[in-house]
Structure 1
Amino acid sequence: MSVLDRTGRDERAAGEYDERISPGVVAGYGAVAAGAVVLVLFAVLLVGWVTDPRSGGSWMSVLGLSGDVWALAHGGRVHAPVVGSITFAPLLATFAAIVLARTAARPVLATGTRRGLWPTTGAFAGGYAVAGVAISALGYLGPATPSPVYVIPGALLVPLIGFVWAIARDKDDDSPLRAEMIAQYDRVPPMVRKAVRPGLEGLAALTGLGALIVLIAVLTHLARIGAVSGTLDMGLVGAVMLWGGQLTALPNGVAWATTWASGGGLQIGPVDLGIGQVTPGTLPAFPALGGIPEAGPLSSLMLIAPVAVVAIGAAIGWRVVSRTSLLSSVTNKLTQAAVASAIASVTMVVLALVGRAGLGDNAMAYVGPTPLSCLLLIVEVMGAALLTTTLVHWLRSSH
């Protein structure tokens, strides 16, 4: 066989292979990703149901609960008897779903399909969303009533992020999807692309600030958290499930704490947690809520939090100037500072709002950041970044 014959055969085989990778197959991979999430949830909940002698119902109710948790993790809501409507997206579970979506996207990238970036991404996300609506409907097997329509936005966004993440981390330089995404990214103005890294660094700093606040709140109220946990007679398995569930909500607490640091406060049901005072109110016996300070005025040291937020914004502005040529115009630098600070602050606000919680229509109907805290976080970070950029540019230009 000649080299030309062998090359022609390889090209025909590659073309046939590409033709087999239809949008339906890509959508199937998306559906598999959605199914993998609910299988993991079902396995965890089933272990708790089997090992706890006090658990009631059948394994079908466990499957229904898995569908409910899947829906909540994707921004959906369920209606439980007596309690009412429940809204709560444990962000760690949402991130786990994104990771599974990324894993399921890898075989699609390995096929070398040449159907285009957005058609392939749309097919993958569409398959995930269709399967997600069906999975959320499993909640009808349990006592709670799901609302599948509320799942659709999250069921489209999660696979979209996972698929794009998989392409961005693809090691195959010959991947047509990766090449197309790089080509589209290159169309973004250079000043915007240069702002991505300082923006992500600022987002990491804001996340670290929120995590520090949560850590301080937990360490200073360990006794109360333990006392609340002790009042819940749940057994070993129940305690593990309870604390595991609270762990999945840790990113929510970090995002809320970061918005609180702006000075605008948090609303935790009937309790308003401000930067200087906590209003009285009755909260449910939930261990994580034991970390909330007692009602009354708070220490003046809490004012350090808004200062830290402003300092992070200033650091973003300084990083932008340090990464930019001295001859670059102030307009260019301010544009980069605005984009970078927006990446950091707006992303954190979005996470805090997506991670909000609600329980029924009464006192605990809303748990999350106040509109003022969201606005203040964006204004403080962006304002400090722009002011620092202008000041450092002027100082460097005057020498």
Structure 2
Amino acid sequence: MSVLDRTKRDERTASEYDERIGPGVIAGYGAVAAGALLLLLFAVLLVAWVTDPRSGGQWMAVLGLSGDVWSLAHGGRLHAPVVGSVVFAPLLVTFAAIALARTAARPVLATGSRRGLWLTTAAFVGGYAVAGVAISALGYLAPATPSLVWVIPGALVVPVLGFVWAVARDTHDGPLRAELSAQYDRIPPVVRKAVRPGLEGLAALTGLGALIVLIAVLTHLSRIGAVGATLDMGLVGLAMLWGGQLAALPNVLAWATTWASGGGLQIGPVDLGIGQVSPGTLPAFPALGAIPEAGPLSPLMLLAPAAVVAIGAAIGWRVTSRTSVLSSVTSKLTQAAVASGIASVTVVLVALVGRAGLGDGAMAYVGPTPLACLLLIVEVMGAALLTTALVHWLRSSH
């Protein structure tokens, strides 16, 4: 067999592969990713329903509750009897959905399909979104009914992130990764160089939020335990309660980071400022026991904005340390702006997406204030730009 004949056979085989792994099959993988999260949620909730002797109703209600949680994890909203609107995105479940989407995308990449990146992504995302709307509709089997329109944006963003993540980490170096790399190379180098300092700054801001939450929890452990002890929920109920609180950990970390900017948080009727906490009655929820009592806070809390500014300065220093001394100040300032924007804007977006609310009463909004979001961006970006300009001037003067 000649080399030309073998090449033609390989091309024919690749063409047959592409026909077999068509858009419909790719969309099926997307639907599988959406269904995998539903099965995971259903298994957990079904175990709780079976093992708790006080649980009532039919197992179909558990299926409906699974659809409700799936909807909330994708930014959906529910309408519960008596309570009204329920807004709460358990972001840890959302991250699990992204990871499952990445896993479901791997077989698509392993086929070596030569279909375009955009067509393949659109098919995968389309299958996930259609299945997601159907899964959310299962919520009508539960007392709290979903609003399907609110699910659609999340059902599009989650599979996009999962699929792009899978392509970027594809170990087969297939054609889709090559196309994604080509698209990434079109981004100006000054912007690409800012990605790593930006991610490092994002990790530092997240660490600051984690430190604040850890301090709040450790200093109010007795109150958190007392609130938990008042809840007569049984062993399984308490496990579900603490599991739900754990699922909201990314939300809380983002809220704590925005609070550190000095703009404060709004937790229903309570305003948690950088210097004091306003009085207000909160529901008996263990995690809320970590909120300090009404009144002035420790003066040490005023150091939190300084920590945010220090992180912004560190981003600016990292930018200058990664660039040549001969690079123009404009290039360095552009990198600092992009890197600090990646860090601060990402935290703000996570905090806003992870907001919560219950009905139209006192607990209608839980999350960062607009001032906190604005201050975080201004402090991080401002410190990064000033540090970059100062370091550039010091190095140029020598």
**What TM bracket, shorter-length normalisation?**
over 0.9
Q: Residue 38 of structure 2 aligns with which residue?
A: 38
Report the Cα offset of residue 113 of structure 1: 1.4
Which whole-Å CA distance do the structure 2 matches of 1:172 and 1:191 have between them? 29
Which whole-Å CA distance do the structure 1 matches of 2:160 and 2:331 have between them? 31
Q: Residue 226 of structure 1 aligns with which residue?
A: 225
Q: Is the 8 A contact 2:263 2:371 kept in 1?
A: yes
Gaps of 5+ in 1: none
Which whole-Å CA distance do the structure 2 matches of 1:58 and 1:234 have between them? 19
Q: What is the one-letter code of the residue matched to 2:110?
A: A
- For residues 225-281 of structure 1, the C-alpha deviation after alignment (integer angstroms, 9 at most, x for no partner) is 000000001111111111111000011000000000000000000000000010000
TM-score by length of structure 1 reads 0.99
Q: Does 1:20 align with 2:20?
A: yes
Q: Residue 395 of structure 2 aligns with which residue?
A: 396
Q: Residue 85 of structure 1 aligns with which residue?
A: 85
Q: Does 1:299 align with 2:294?
A: no
Which whole-Å CA distance do the structure 2 matches of 1:300 and 1:8 have between them? 75
Q: Does 1:235 align with 2:240?
A: no
Which whole-Å CA distance do the structure 1 matches of 2:322 and 2:7 have between them? 48
> Per the alignment, in what secondary structure is the counterpart of residue 146 of structure 1?
strand
**Percent of residue pairs identical:** 85
> Per the alignment, in what secondary structure is the counterpart of residue 161 of structure 2?
helix
Q: Residue 175 of structure 2 aligns with which residue?
A: 176
Matches within 5 A, 1:321-340: 321-340=320-339
Q: Residue 95 of structure 2 aligns with which residue?
A: 95
Q: Is the 8 A contact 2:14 2:113 kept in 1?
A: no
* Cα root mean square deviation, aligned: 0.9
Which whole-Å CA distance do the structure 1 matches of 2:335 and 2:165 have between them? 24
Report the Cα offset of residue 164 of structure 1: 0.2
Which whole-Å CA distance do the structure 2 matches of 1:57 and 1:191 have between them? 59
Q: Does 1:198 align with 2:213?
A: no
Q: Residue 147 of structure 2 aligns with which residue?
A: 147
Matches within 5 A, 1:257-268: 257-268=256-267
- For residues 20-78 of structure 1, the C-alpha deviation after alignment (integer angstroms, 9 at most, x for no partner) is 11111111110110000111000000000000000111100000000000000000000
Q: Residue 131 of structure 1 aligns with which residue?
A: 131
Which whole-Å CA distance do the structure 1 matches of 2:378 and 2:224 have between them? 34
Q: What is the one-letter code of the residue matched to 1:247?
A: L
Q: What is the one-letter code of the residue matched to 1:316?
A: I
> Per the alignment, in what secondary structure is the counterpart of residue 79 of structure 2?
strand
- For residues 326-376 of structure 1, the C-alpha deviation after alignment (integer angstroms, 9 at most, x for no partner) is 000000000000000000000000000000001000000000000000000
Q: Residue 118 of structure 2 aligns with which residue?
A: 118
Which whole-Å CA distance do the structure 1 matches of 2:130 and 2:2 have between them? 48
Q: Residue 318 of structure 1 aligns with which residue?
A: 317
> Per the alignment, in what secondary structure is the counterpart of residue 288 of structure 1?
helix
- For residues 112-153 of structure 1, the C-alpha deviation after alignment (integer angstroms, 9 at most, x for no partner) is 112211111111111101110000000011111110110000
Q: Residue 54 of structure 1 aligns with which residue?
A: 54
Q: What is the one-letter code of the residue matched to 2:388?
A: T
Which whole-Å CA distance do the structure 2 matches of 1:95 and 1:177 have between them? 23
